Chain A
Amino acid sequence: MASTSPPLPNARPSPRDLLREQLATVLPHALVTLPDDLPDLIRTADVVVHADALPEVVQFVIDHLGYGLLSDLAAVDYVEHGLFELVYRFYSIGGGGDLVIKVRVPRDQPDVPSLMAILPAAMLHEREAYDLFGIRFIGHPNLRRIYMWDEFEGFPMRKDFPKQGDNYIGEGA
């Protein structure tokens, strides 16, 4: 809704701008500065942080911004750009909009520190991202498959996962 209405004069800064501003002063090494010439698909206005600095950033967000609820962890496979993107979405009990933190890791080495020690809520989210995308969460105590059976090979939500169904030619096609 808010996105369709014109920007509010004097409206308070969005959580995103606030986070960026504060990270720049507090944890400047965590912020990723994206090049300007990125392809449209992977350009983003959200805060992107280095994978290594993620726990620090999350701890900061919880302690100082009050965003203590990890609502969602989504993984995106940008197969053409060789990237996995993890989108962490936080909410604050105090209300206000959501806060998004993104992490980008190379497809061939998808290692991200686990948030389990800080946020136990990350437990199932990380297992799901591991199961479907093969993101390795370093430090997760129980990184097992969650949808698939343990012997399943491959990560089905990766864009290059083979569709092993036969190529069926329907009659009348």
Chain B
Amino acid sequence: MSNDTLTHSLTFTEAPAALTVVVDPTPQIARGSAVVVERRRPKAAGWSLLQGLGVVVDHWRKSFRKLDDTTQIAGTFTTEYPEERLPLPEAYRNMPILLFDDATGHELCTSCFQCQRICPPQVIHMTQAKDPDTGKPVPAVSEFIIEYDACMSCGFCAEVCPFDAIKMDHNFELSTADHSSLTVHKTDLLRPISYYQSIAPTFWAEAEASAYKKLETNKKRRPATIGIAPQMLAQLKAAHELRDDQQEATMPTTAVASAPAPATSSAAPPARSAALAASASDLPTDKAARLAAIRARNEAKAAVQAAPATASAAPAASDGGDLPTDKAARLAAIRARNEAKKAAEQAAAAEAAPTLATPDMPPTDVQPAASEQAAPPAPTVPDASLDEKAARLAAIRARNEAKKADEQTAAAGAAPTLATPDVPPTDVPPATSEQAAPPAPAVPDAPLDEKAARLAAIRARNAAKKAAQAEGE
């Protein structure tokens, strides 16, 4: 190969074709034979030096030539990776990743084991999540491991996944000196849907509708925070605390039930709250339940104030049985249930006006007061935090009751998907948002703009439809 090819990365069109290959007319090709490459260069001393200078002169001379367009340049062109990258085809696949919903943080994976079964080198391992109370399996994974070092990038896992939860990533920069880091755990596998959408828009567009539909179904069977991407939990918590605080501050004690709360918060990102509102819409009697919950909560609060606490252990997440306010809460719950039943009957004719600014069960009260005010685990004095805790528990209970009541009216008979209480965190900042501080609007749900209003309307319509169906059965 001539030396020209080595040195002229740019060869102008006038220049002679640079690649000159000497072909022996009768080559003797034998394996492993010594190869002599003919360089065709004089063996005079200092020749290489002159040759190098020649290159400089050559380029200098060519630099005066005016080019009309880039097609007059020939030569080797490079892309300045990593600053500059060529686009990868959508179908490019490297290693699998798991997806979670941007809005709610829910993972799409339901632990159905399809991918684990099909994976040819058997590098997928997972543990199904269990409901801590009942011990029953929940459609979510508690741990998910892929051994990237042995994954053969076949993409079968993504192909078989019925929930579009596992997808093939485009990131190929995985080299590392730490072998063990190639055993990747769930937290590091999870990516927001928006990420996958950005690398494979048409693929996701195809999968989107069914993926979300299945996710909605599965979310209902996930108690508390199970199935929520761990990296989203902190943000969720912060958002809920913020919202709760603001609600405490803004909510009047009595007249809540009737009026749609005004949009007291102003600059809240409307798109976000719209998304949140939409994500909460899976409750058929959403509105009724929420109203009931508020009522129950107020009831409970009053009860706590009336009866001083007789101090018991810190309540477990879903078991408020030994709370001092238990009785009050239960009463409130019954009341709420009745309310809900009534509301469910009326829901068929639900008007489009959204009443969204009602409280929602926050996942934060699993570990309450982590940051609020350092509440002692076993309070003996009914201080503010206990009060609030009780109120929240009452609210949960009321809501569950309301839901149950609704299900009964639906007569859906043993639909197991609904048997567990649903506690969807409806108030989630986006996965991509940088920090949790600003996202939660004070009253996040009030339709701040047209889009939110439209979403709310859709939501109301869905609720009405569901209620109508329920009554039809």
Contact = CB atoms under 8 A, between A and B. Distances in A.
Binding between chains A and B: yes
Interface of A: 1-2, 5-6, 8-13, 18, 22, 25-26, 55-56, 59-60, 62-66, 92, 94-97, 117-118, 132, 147-149, 152, 156-157, 161, 163-166, 168-173
A26 B27 contact: yes
B205 interface: no
Nearest to B26: A26
B29 A165 contact: no
Contact of A65 (B21, B74, B152): B21
Contacts of A157: 152, 154
Given A8-B71, A148-B121, A64 B23 contact: yes
B77 interface: yes
A171 B214 contact: yes
Contacts of A132: 152, 154
B457 interface: no
A63 B34 CA distance: 9
Main secondary structure, interface of B, reads loop
Given A2-B77, A147-B121, A64 B19 contact: no
Contacts, number: 122
B42 interface: no
A163 B19 contact: no
A26 B29 CA distance: 10
Interface string B86-129: 10000000000000000000000010101101101100000000
A65 to B, nearest CB: 6
Interface stretch (B155-163, B234-242, B431-439): B155-163
Main secondary structure of the interface of A (DSSP, over half): loop
B159 to A, nearest CB: 8
A163 B118 contact: yes
B79 A94 contact: no
Given A1-B77, A6-B71, A10-B14, 11 more contacts: A1-B79, A12-B74, A65-B1, A148-B120, A166-B114, A168-B114, A170-B112, A170-B163, A171-B218, A172-B216, A173-B162
A60 B156 contact: no
B92 to A, nearest CB: 14
Interface residues of B, number: 52
B152 A156 contact: yes
B177 interface: no
Contacts of B121: 147-149
Interface in B419-463: none
A117 B30 CA distance: 11
B29 A59 contact: yes
A93 B337 CA distance: 78
Contact of A22 (B21, B76, B77): B21
A10 B9 CA distance: 16
Contacts of B118: 163-165
B213 interface: yes
27 contacts: A1-B86, A2-B77, A8-B13, A8-B74, A9-B13, A10-B13, A13-B17, A18-B19, A25-B23, A59-B29, A63-B33, A94-B6, A95-B76, A96-B76, A117-B32, A147-B121, A147-B152, A152-B120, A156-B154, A157-B154, A165-B160, A168-B114, A170-B110, A170-B214, A171-B218, A172-B216, A173-B214
Question: Closest 4 CB pairs between A and B?
Answer: A165-B118, A156-B120, A172-B217, A170-B162
B5 A94 contact: yes
Interface string B60-88: 00000000001100101101000000100
Question: Most chain-A Cβ atoms within 10 A of its Cβ — which of B29, B114, B118?
Answer: B29
B19 A12 contact: yes
A26 B117 contact: no
B162 A95 contact: no
B259 interface: no
B9 A95 contact: yes
Contacts of A63: 27, 29, 33, 35
B179 interface: no
A140 to B, nearest CB: 15
Nearest to A25: B23
B312 interface: no
Contacts of B163: 170
Contacts of B19: 12-13, 18, 96
B27 A60 contact: yes
B253 interface: no
A92 B23 contact: no
A96 B417 CA distance: 61
B210 A173 contact: yes
B150 interface: yes
Contacts of B22: 64
A62 B32 CA distance: 11
A5 B70 contact: yes
B26 to A, nearest CB: 9
Contacts of B40: none
B208 to A, nearest CB: 14
A97 B9 CA distance: 12
A22 B35 CA distance: 18
A147 B74 contact: no
B156 A163 contact: yes
- Residue with the highest number of chain B CB atoms closer than 10 Å, among A9, A171, A173: A171
Contacts of B316: none
B25 to A, nearest CB: 8
A165 B13 contact: no
Contact of B112 (A10, A117, A149, A168): A168
A23 B154 CA distance: 35
Contacts of B154: 132, 156-157
B32 A165 contact: no
Interface in B2-26: 5-6, 9, 11, 13-14, 17-19, 21-24
Nearest to A60: B29
B41 interface: no
